[in-house]
Amino acid sequence: MGKGAQNHGMKDSTSQASSTDHSVYAAWAKDVRECEEKYQVNREHGLSDSEVEKRLKIYGKNELEKHEGQSIIWLILDQFNDTLVRILLAAAVISFVLAWYDGDEGGELEITAFVEPLVIFLILIVNAMVGVWQENNAEKALEALKEIQSEQATVIRNGRKISSLPAKELVPGDIVELRVGEKIPADMRVLQLISSTLRVEQGSLTGESEAVGKSAKPVPEESDIQGKKCMVFAGTTVVNGNCVCLVTATGMNTEIGKVHSQIHDASQSEEDTPLKKKLNEFGEVLTMIIGCICALVWLINLKYFLSWEYVDGWPTNFQFSFEKCTYYFEIAVALAVAAIPEGLPAVITTCLALGTRKMAQKNALVRKLPSVETLGCTTVICSDKTGTLTTNQMAVTKLVAMGNRANAVRSFIVEGTTYNPSDGKIQDWPAGKMDANLQTIEKIASLANDAGIERSEKGYVASGMPTEAALKVLVEKMGLPAELDSGSSTGCSETWNKLERRIATLEFDRDRKSMGVIVSASSGKKSLLVKGAVENLLERSTSVQLVDGSSVELDQRAKELILDNLNEMSRGALRVLGFAYKENPPEFTTYNGNEDHPAHDLLLNPTNYSSIESNLTFAGMVGLQDRPRKEVRQAIEDCRAAGIQVMVITGDNKNTAEAICREIGVFGPGEDISSKSITGKEFMELHDPKGHLAQKGGLLFSRAEPRHKQEIVRLLKDMGEVVAMTGDGVNDAPALKLADIGIAMGIAGTEVAKEASDMVLADDNFSTIVAAVGEGRSIYNNMKAFIRYMISSNIGEVACIFLTAAIGIPEGLIPVQLLWVNLVTDGPPATALGFNPPDKYIMKRAPRRSDDSLINAWILVRYLVIGFYVGIATVGIFIIWFTRDSFCGIDLSQDGHSLVSYSQLSNWDQCYSWQNFTVSPFTAGERVFKFDSDPCDYFRSGKIKAMTLSLSVLVAIEMFNSLNALSENESLLTMPPWVNPWLLLAMSVSFGLHFLILYIPFLAQVFGIVPLSVNEWLLVLAVAFPVILIDEILKLIGRWNDGAQEISKSSKHKAE
């Protein structure tokens, strides 16, 4: 309902059913007649067309709002709201302008000049496209929510029934008929049950594990959503019975509408992932560093493009060289390009994508790439119970049969947690030798049953009520008695159905709490078979069946024994069903289903069912439960070892949830949980909710509503926790959206939950989350390795350009070369570091804090040292080529180049003032460089060989440096390069790419380089290799430092 409609309703004083009044009217707490009076409607006549029109204006249509997202233009612009992206954009624009200027001035070749800005622009465009695509997918949860709304409804208006009215035209006050199988179109008050019972599957909205019985009786006003037994809610489904209802809320005022609003609000408050925050912080620091270094380079070289004379102590006669100013501005731009790790976003995306593939193999399907990294620092997992910790499949866990005397019983433990009949067996079961009492129990469980079990692609699935489906599975596990087992492949239930035909059904109702069937054997013998609440069956039973099939009187002692067993099972959170029967019920001895038979009239009136189901013989009972998954207990222990707190948030009742939590290890067997297990409502009333959440160990919240889940997640995030939230229903969607990691169920999950999530569990299994957390931690460690590698490489590039500018030698590396190294040459090794093997103790350590820095002080010192060496090596080899004819025994004079002094090289811009300065031609590959007309061009176009050597040293050092990044502190002697063969392959690829641009003439011309000789390659390796030795020494110091800290901590611990 739109805001305009809300305002209209508030202004309309003539209407007694205004939008404001309706929003607080507790229809569930009022009598049926009061509700009809409030909404001015009669259930026989319904609303008139004029009244409907009036109410449509007040309340609007019965549909969910469509929130307008950002326009595509704003989405695109929003992708540039990132520090690193803005720096890149500025560098690209400036590079483009300078390239244009150089082209006009007849400078460098256009193709070379424009490569750098065009590549940067391409990176930015791809980044923006990916970002826009992700944003467009963000609100799909809201669209999926609309899919679960009903499209049509059966409505009474103007005194006549309209069988297919579009559901969006419903208004508060409409009278609606609901039938079994129908989707409920709006929130409604039940006025009258047409059938004897009404059951609604509302677990997707409330989190309850089974269908809920509804009635027309009012409930207390303060009841939670699960307690509103006289209300049915939009988007849920009728699974049993028919009724007449009064619409009380439509559109955004329904419970599902509130969920819609909560999803929208949660999507507006989505935060960056921990990694994104760190990278943003890094970008801001990088901006300051670049700014300072660029300013410093500018000041160092100020003398080259701005000079003046002092007259009487004052500077005069200023001379400004625009050409040189532009040149040093280009150096500043090169510095910016060197400082920015352009390939980092691509490498991170690749590593996360590889991580998603690994997780998919473990049944965790990641929908949003950054979630992979966030999983690694998860500190709290808020898990739903039904379907995640449990199988969401009811199963019989215990069978209690009668003994050889009235006051004796036999108990059998039933294994298995799913609807698969082969999943587990019955312990100590007399297979093929069932006595008469066990046969009776099997017959009742099979025939007084409307459910079915089918095999599908996803395994065995149930049709009908989950409890009845569990009984069908029990029948198959019991097998057939020897006299009935013909060896046929037909199921046990089908065999019983062939032997005895159902001729009448006594539907379940809430008063007698039982369901019965009358069956006829092939001999014509009739039997009444009843299942239901044990207490109610005992009240209507007069005898009990013994092992041999005979029956004896049900005395007080026998009744107490049965009730003791019932209470024991109830304390274990089992749902208990009893079985009873009556042979040849007198009214139905000759009945065969014929409507003309006198007994048929008895069946038409449900009030007769209790008298029909009297004088029963009690046969036994079973305990059922939505069983915990087998692997969950170990997963909970793994979480505890990994320092992750597990909180269970469920819509189910408190006793059942507590029993499950004890069974799976969230709580200890004898642990006092009075302060750790509370309802959602009790939590909202706490004076210090954060104090409650700060408790150590597991916590349980039962009867939780969507708003309770959201509040828990919000408070945990405020406390600095990284929260993973699981869920499968519509009611879970807002909290899934709000959590750092929203995890939906792939099998039982609704589309709404899946679209709101960051990750989907293909097997709906809690243990898969724990495996995914371990994978996330491993991925984060590998990401740290390649981020440090790339940053240390960039520090080296900055040091190179800064040293070049500081000592005044010609430019050793141009921007397009730096861009090639950052994007292409560094890319494969950085990506390969994502394949580093995981630490075997990764799930034995506490989770890292989300605000932990990627680089601590010692690591920064290490990479500053490495970076400084990279700068010295790249500048050093440039100087060596110009000033030395050999180095470390390697002959460099074979190309015939002229040597100059270091003084000449550092003052190369004064070349035109030197007397008799000449240089000889030199060869590079097949090219010959001559400088007869302009010897000073030796320092511009003649530096091409020296530049090639600098670039090659930079590439070689960064390849060796990737080996250093295999481990933060482990030596290459203990963690050799072959532990990650992908890295060796990546190094080969990077060297191959470098050879490609060196030895293909067209590419060499684009990048401003020339081929190198064997001796020159030996020089490159000699200068580059020491980076490994330097880092080995730094790692050794790091290990000493860590060892000293451990000894200090140990001594402090002993002292305490």
Active site residues: 384
890-891 vs 390-402, strand pairing mode: unpaired
Whether the CB-CB separation of 579 and 527 falls below 8 Å is answered with: no
d(CA 405, CA 280) in angstroms, rounded, equals 77
Q: In Å, how far are 303, 307, 869 from 316, measured between CA atoms?
A: 14, 9, 42
Angle at which helices 436-447 and 492-499 pack, to 10 degrees?
90
Residue 153, beta-bridge partner list: 165
The single-letter code of the amino acid at 118 is L
Which residue matches tokens 């009668």?
402
Contacts of 823 (CB under 8 A, 6+ apart): 119, 123, 342, 343, 346
What is the dihedral sign for C-alpha 381, 385, 390, 392?
negative
Residue 277 tokens read as: 């925050």
What is the dihedral sign for C-alpha 77, 78, 81, 85?
negative
575-583 vs 526-532, strand pairing mode: antiparallel
Residue 886, beta-bridge partner list: 891
Residue 594 tokens read as: 């014929």
d(CA 465, CA 959) in angstroms, rounded, equals 64
Per-residue b/e over 570-597, b at no fewer than 16 CB within 10 Å? eebbbbbbbbbbbeebebbeebeeeeee
What is the dihedral sign for C-alpha 285, 286, 287, 288?
positive
What length is written for the chain?
A: 1056
d(CA 304, CA 665) in angstroms, rounded, equals 74
d(CA 729, CA 206) in angstroms, rounded, equals 8
What is the dihedral sign for C-alpha 944, 950, 952, 958?
negative
Nearest to 56 by CA among 148, 170, 163: 170
Which residue matches tokens 């929510």?
145
Residue 523 tokens read as: 């001999």
Q: What H or E segment, with its residue span, contains residue 790? A: helix 766-807
575-583 vs 551-553, strand pairing mode: unpaired
Whether the CB-CB separation of 357 and 340 falls below 8 Å is answered with: no
Nearest to 283 by CA among 80, 77, 86, 79: 86
Whether the CB-CB separation of 368 and 130 falls below 8 Å is answered with: no
d(CA 923, CA 506) in angstroms, rounded, equals 103
Q: What is the largest CA-CA distance in the chain?
A: 134
Q: For 882, phi and psi rounded to 5 degrees?
A: -75, -30
Nearest to 185 by CA among 157, 217, 149: 149
Q: In Å, how far are 810, 907, 909, 917, 934 from 914, measured between CA atoms?
A: 17, 10, 10, 6, 12
Cα 720 from chain centroid (whole Å): 19
Whether the CB-CB separation of 921 and 942 falls below 8 Å is answered with: no
Cα 360 from chain centroid (whole Å): 12
Q: How far apart are the first and last CA of the chain?
A: 64
Whether the CB-CB separation of 1012 and 892 falls below 8 Å is answered with: no
